[in-house]
Amino acid sequence: MKNSLHAKGLIFVIIGASLWGIGGTASDYIFTETPVDVNWYVTARLTISGIILLSIYTLFFRKKHRTVWNKHTVLMFSIYSIFGMTMVQYTFMATIGYGNAAIATVLQCTGPIYIILYAVMKKYRPWTKTEAFIIGAMIIGVILIATNGNLTNLAVSPVALMFGLASGVALAYYTLHAPVLLQVIHPLQLVGGSMLAGGIIMNFIHPIWVFDFSFDWSAMQVIILVLSILLGTTLAFYLYITSMKYISSTEAGILGLLEPVSAVLTSVVLLNVGLGIYQTAGIILILGVGVFISTRKNETQKTS
């Protein structure tokens, strides 16, 4: 029974992470081939996914898990919704809009740099050689992606690079803040609620009903748009969250790296996104560091 549940968790996280990456590639296609812009897409993505995930929570989990909302919880949830969920979604999609899905997902993987910096500054402890290696390798990887080996010329749009690095910061905050709220809020309630809150905020920037209906949409484009939201966001988040009940955070962290892998592969194969040899090396370097960080956490937990 235990082995079957563990296998279920592994399957869920593999599918969820892969759908995230494929969803990023689908978003890249939508921004390129249709009049959909980043603002409308983030609004739709957050609003629709938030409603669906909160509905799942209300129908199946609300009676089993009751949340006590006080002023502190409401404040923490509000901050998380704006600077965590909404910023992660917006900066990631903006990176795709100004660059491509492959670059966006890999740059978002720089989040561990900021988590390490936060831990060092908060605890006022000295750097370790391992942490210096991790940050140095991540920086080299970003430089290789941005320049493709030519330090005098950027191979990636400066705006895409800025949003990509910002998405790493947002992801770091999202990762650090979530465990605090998950002590009192159900995962589906937290993710669905913060998505819906972010969707409501984004509706003031670009209402979901303000849409270019004059565009001659093909059936395939409509299907990709719908599935990119339902599968690439809603189902991906649901599967990833559910997997955490059956597998360790270390396993989820390692297998979560399938997101940038699937984004890179689908971008290159389906969208003919060209990557230089140095950019490819940078991607491999960052993903390698990601695996190292995940396995290092596991070793630390075993020895502690």
Prediction pTM value: 0.83
Q: Give the CA count within 13 Å in the CB-facing half-sphere of 173.
A: 18
Token duo for residue 146: 């941005």
Token duo for residue 73: 């919880």
Q: How far apart are CA 109 and CA 172, in angstroms?
A: 9
Q: Give me the pLDDT at residue 142, please.
A: 82
The torsion defined by the Cα of 129, 134, 135 and 141, in degrees rounded to 10, comes to: 140
Segments making up each domain of the chain, as ranges: 2-303
State the angle between helix axes of 111-123 and 158-182 in degrees (0 to 180), rounded to the nearest 10. 60
Q: How far apart are CA 101 and CA 88, in angstroms?
A: 14
Q: Give me the pLDDT at residue 254, please.
A: 65
149, 278 Cβ separation under 8 angstroms: yes
Measured CA to CA in angstroms, residue 140 lies from 256, 259, 282, 299 at distances of 22, 21, 7, 25
Each of the 304 residues of the chain gets a pLDDT tens digit; together they read 667 877 888 888 888 888 888 888 899 999 989 999 999 999 999 999 999 999 999 988 887 777 778 898 999 999 999 998 899 899 999 999 998 888 888 888 777 778 777 877 776 566 778 878 888 888 888 888 878 777 667 678 889 989 999 998 988 888 788 778 888 888 889 889 999 999 999 999 999 998 887 888 899 999 999 999 999 888 888 887 777 677 765 666 667 777 777 887 888 777 777 778 888 888 888 878 777 776 665 444 444 4
Token duo for residue 269: 């194969």
Positive or negative, the CA dihedral 289, 162, 104, 76 is positive
Q: How far apart are CA 9 and CA 14, in angstroms?
A: 9
The gap between the terminal CA atoms of the chain, to the nearest Å, is 28
